[in-house]
Amino acid sequence: MKLGRGDFKPYIRLLAYCKPYMSRLIPAVVCMAISSLLAVIPPWMIKYIVDDVLDTKNSSTEARLSILALFAGGVVLISVFKAMFSYCHGYLMAWVGQKVIMDIRLELYDKTQKLSLRILYRRRMGEFMSRITNDVSTLQGTLASVVVDLISQSITFLGILGFMFFINWTLTLCAFAILPIATLAIDRASAKLRVVGGHIQEQLAQLSAIAQESLSSVRIVRAFATEKQEYDRFDAQSRSHFKAIIRGAQTRGLLEGFVEVVLFAALALILLLGGHGVVEDRLTTGELMAFLTYIGLLVQPVRVISRVISAIQQGVPSAERVFEILDERDEVLLPANPILIPDMKGKIVFENVWFAYEGEHWILEGLNLSIEPGERIAIVGETGAGKSTIADLVLRFYDPAKGRILIDGIDLRELNLTEYRKRVGVVPQDPVLMKGSIAYNISYGLPNCSVQAIKSAARMSEIDEFILSLPEGYDTEVGERGVTLSGGQRQRVAIARAIVRNPAILLMDEATSSLDALVESQVQSAMNEAMKGRTSLVIAHRLSTIREADRIFVISEGNIVEEGRHEELVMSRGHYYNLYQLQKGITDA
Ligand SMILES: Nc1ncnc2c1ncn2[C@@H]1O[C@H](COP(=O)(O)OP(=O)(O)OP(=O)(O)O)[C@@H](O)[C@H]1O
Ligand SMILES: [Mg+2]
């Protein structure tokens, strides 16, 4: 039963997770060993029962009957002990196994929380979810079978082998002459099972991804009447998954069947050779019976071990898929000695910042920016120019490839990131609300936020009146993606969420893009109020919203092409002027 060294690598790593639980694992393995050994004793007793009790005339009838009673009692006693030890190992192993899996799942979840957005966005969300749920579950099954079955059945196997050798070693060798054939079959099947196992998990992940995607874009699916198309996609994927699973079951079934045939061939061989032995008086009847019982008993461990080998093979891809994520390089490395700025002013400096999402496909090319504390900055530029990217860099979602970003004169990479981010308020381009009440959403990340603070933030973002009109006011639940609120309402809740943190830096990416002109002007004045005393970075398409900015940066082709106040930029008749004319034309029209 050969397994390559590579097969065990993920398992050795899994075993490392068992380390903290050694105090339970070791007793579990000991109980397992004892109960396995107890299982192999009864056939050995058969030899004595047959030879010394049933098939002998050497001692008196009473003596033989009392030995018989003794053996019968012994068999019961052994089974009681075996049950006790089985119970202990079952309980302890389940405990350790579940703990290990829980640890891995938590680590995986924690990792996905910290994973570079580059990697997170490159894969499908459903695929990640599948790794956290399905692959970890598969691992759980394999871990249990590897540790419990492999160890206990191997002990049983070796125990049986030992007793067989003890009774008659030549016969044992004959019986095991068949073994190499079985090994060869298992070897071939293993390689196949491993490929199939990887395929199954991959198909399952795709299935989750499709379900997740069509559910989260249910509005698009309905609006474009593509239900049938989505259903077909899901159907096709389900079929691939089904096929992969059936292929696995076929291979496994063939393997198990073959192994059983080999075992029965061994049984027949023993019957033949052993029978000859008994007839020719080289072997006692008791020995032959014990031998045959042992071969019968071997069916169980051999079958289980071959199943474990399948499980190991099928589990390897799952383990690899889990570890692949755990091994993903952290992009945003936290400093060894994080710096805390006690009273952050909010000065932002970009020093020759180069940034690309992929390789050398530069989005920012040596950007230089210097924003004073309390300054109101607006960033404009055509779509895809890199405006949101700048906001992401200020939040340190990514690190620049070259150059650096300084906050109050300190490199962003040196800062205590959690504390820093608490001092930054963000209104993203597409605000997502968390599942929970409106109050929870506004105070998200501030568990000790007072009701007054929540309400005053809501008033500032002109959403207070609307919230009070809801049946449960601030306690009204909003859906996972805030589906019960309109885009503009969601945006205003997001503004309140940013303001309530009393941030030193305020980042607003198209914060008012879904508001109508009237509400926008109301929110605008509220925001102007909110921006007082804070460094604010406003990204806007509608130039009307940034007239008040202290300075406007126009971004194009990875750099700032113009900079100044609204009037100055209009006067200079450059990029900004063109944009302005274009929008004015549209508005006038
Ligand atoms: N996660 C990502 N992975 C790869 N490329 C990205 C990613 N996010 C953005 N980009 C690319 O980087 C460029 C800048 O994107 P960014 O979102 O910063 O533009 P933007 O100026 O905010 O545009 P808009 O005005 O449309 O919001 C775009 O070409 C975009 O395709
Ligand atoms: Mg953007």
- For the CA of 389, the closest atom of ligand 1 is 18
pLDDT tens for 50-66 read: 888 777 777 788 888 88
Between the CA of 558 and the centroid of ligand 1 the distance, in Å, is 11
Identify the residue whose C-alpha is closest to ligand 1 atom 17: 388
Q: Which residue has the higher pLDDT, 130 or 405?
A: 405
Alpha helices in 123-178 (DSSP H): 125-130, 136-144, 151-167, 169-176
Q: Which of 46-55, 350-359, 389-398 has the lowest mean pLDDT?
A: 46-55
Cα–Cα distance, 9 to 104 (Å, whole number)? 16
Give me the pLDDT at residue 1, please: 41
Nearest CA to ligand 1 atom 16: 386
pLDDT by residue (tens digit) across 126-158?
888 888 888 888 888 887 777 677 888 888 888
Query: pLDDT at position 405, please?
Result: 95
- Predicted model pTM: 0.75
Q: Yes or no: say if 486 and 463 are a contact pair by the CB < 8 Å rule.
A: no
Mean pLDDT, rounded, for 337-356: 92
The Å distance, Cα 386 to ligand 1 centre, comes to 6
For ligand 1, atom 9: residue with the closest CA: 389
Q: How high is the pLDDT of residue 53?
A: 78
Q: Which residues, 6 or more positions from 37, have their beta carbon under 8 angstroms from its beta carbon?
A: 155, 156, 159
Residue to mutate, 121, 123, 350, 387, ligand 1, most ligand atoms under 8 Å from C-beta: 387
pLDDT surpassing 70 at residue 434: yes
Ligand nearest to the CA of 386: 1
Q: Which domains can be identified in the chain, with CATH numbers?
A: 16-326 (1.20.1560.10), 432-502 (3.40.50.300)
Tens-place pLDDT, residues 483-509: 578 877 888 888 899 989 889 999 988
According to the model, what pLDDT value does residue 4 have?
A: 53
For the chain, the first-to-last Cα distance in angstroms comes to: 80
Tell how far the Cα of 393 is from the centroid of ligand 2, in angstroms: 13
What ligand 1 atom has the least distance to the C-alpha of 541? 25
Q: Which residue has the higher pLDDT, 113 or 59?
A: 113
For residue 510, which atom of ligand 1 is closest to its CA? 27
Question: According to the model, what pLDDT value does residue 237 have?
Answer: 93
pLDDT tens per residue, range 13-31: 888 888 899 999 899 889 9
**Closest Cα partner for 322 from 219, 406, 493, 201?**
201
Can you point out the beta strands (E) in 320-435? Answer: 348-356, 362-371, 376-380, 402-407, 410-411, 424-427
Ligand approaching nearest to the C-alpha of 384: 1
Ligand 1 atom nearest to 118, measured from its CA: 1
**CA-nearest residue, atom 5 of ligand 1:** 357
User: Residues 269, 272, 276, 281: is their CA dihedral positive or negative?
Assistant: positive
- What's residue 2's pLDDT? 45
**Bigger pLDDT: 300 vs 539:** 539
Atom index in ligand 1 nearest the CA of residue 390 equals 18
- In this prediction, residue 231 carries a pLDDT of 93
Beta strands 410-411; 402-407: pairing state: antiparallel
Calpha distance 513→152 (Å, rounded): 65
Which residues lie below 8 Å from residue 60, measured CB to CB, with a gap of 6+?
none
- The ligand minimizing its distance to the Cα of 363 is 1
Q: What is the pLDDT of residue 365?
A: 93
Report the nearest atom of ligand 1 relative to the CA of 382. 25
Pocket, ligand 1, Cβ cutoff 6 A: 121, 357, 363, 381, 383-389, 429
pLDDT band of 587, cuts 50, 70, 90: low
